[in-house]
Amino acid sequence: MKADKTGKVSVIVVDDSALVRQLLTELLNADPDIEVVATAADPYLAREKIKRFNPDVITLDIEMPRMDGLTFLRNLMRLRPMPVVMVSTLTEQGAQATLDALELGAFDFVAKPKQNLANTLVDFADDICASVKAAARSSTSSPIRDTTRVATPGIATQVISRPMLTGLRTTEKIVAIGASTGGVEAIRQVLSSLPSDAPGIVITQHIPGAFSEAFAKRINGLTAMEVRQAEDGAQILPGHVYIAPGDRHLLVRRSGARYYCQLDDGAPVFRHKPSVDVLFRSVAEQVGANAIGVMLTGMGEDGAQGMLRMKHAGAVNLAQDERTSVVWGMPSAAIKAGAVDEVYPLSEIASYLMAHSRQN
> Collapsing DSSP states into helix, strand and coil, what is residue 65?
coil
Average pLDDT over every residue of 148-170 = 40
- Predicted confidence at residue 143, as pLDDT, reads 35
Average pLDDT over every residue of 198-226 = 94
CA distance 297 to 20: 29
Residue 249 annotated among the catalytic residues of the structure: no
- Predicted confidence at residue 93, as pLDDT, reads 73
What is the DSSP code string of 80-91?
Answer: S---EEEEEESS
CA distance 217 to 164: 34
Catalytic-role residue among 180, 193, 212, 282: 180
In this prediction, residue 358 has a pLDDT band, given cuts at 50, 70 and 90, of: confident
- What residues form DSSP beta bridges with 294? 177, 318
Nearest to 244 by CA among 278, 220, 271: 278
Answer whether residue 168 shows pLDDT above 60.
Answer: no
What's the mean pLDDT when you consider all of the chain? 88
Query: Which segments of the chain belong to CATH 3.40.50.180?
Result: 155-357
In this prediction, residue 90 has a pLDDT band, given cuts at 50, 70 and 90, of: low
Nearest to 185 by CA among 325, 332, 349: 325
HEC readout, 28-58: HHCCCCEEEEEEECCHHHHHHHHHHHCCCEE
Domain covering 155-357, topology = Rossmann fold (3.40.50)
Nearest to 322 by CA among 334, 311, 305: 334
CA atoms within 13 A on the CB side of 147: 4
CA distance 120 to 117: 5
CA distance 270 to 268: 7
Catalytic-role residue among 108, 141, 146, 206: 206
Indicate the pTM of the whole model: 0.86
Contact 240/226 with Cβ under 8 angstroms? yes
Catalytic-role residue among 42, 108, 302, 321: 302
Q: Who's near 17: CB < 8 A, 6+ residues apart?
A: 61
CATH class of 9-137: alpha beta
Average pLDDT over every residue of 286-314 = 97
Contact 178/296 with Cβ under 8 angstroms? yes
Average pLDDT over every residue of 16-25 = 92
Residue 312 annotated among the catalytic residues of the structure: no
Antiparallel, parallel or unpaired: β 249-255 and 258-264: antiparallel
Query: Which segments of the chain belong to CATH 3.40.50.2300?
Result: 9-137
C-alpha 51: how far from its chain's center? Answer: 31
The H or E element spanning position 21 is helix 18-29
Q: Which residue has the higher pLDDT, 72 or 149?
A: 72
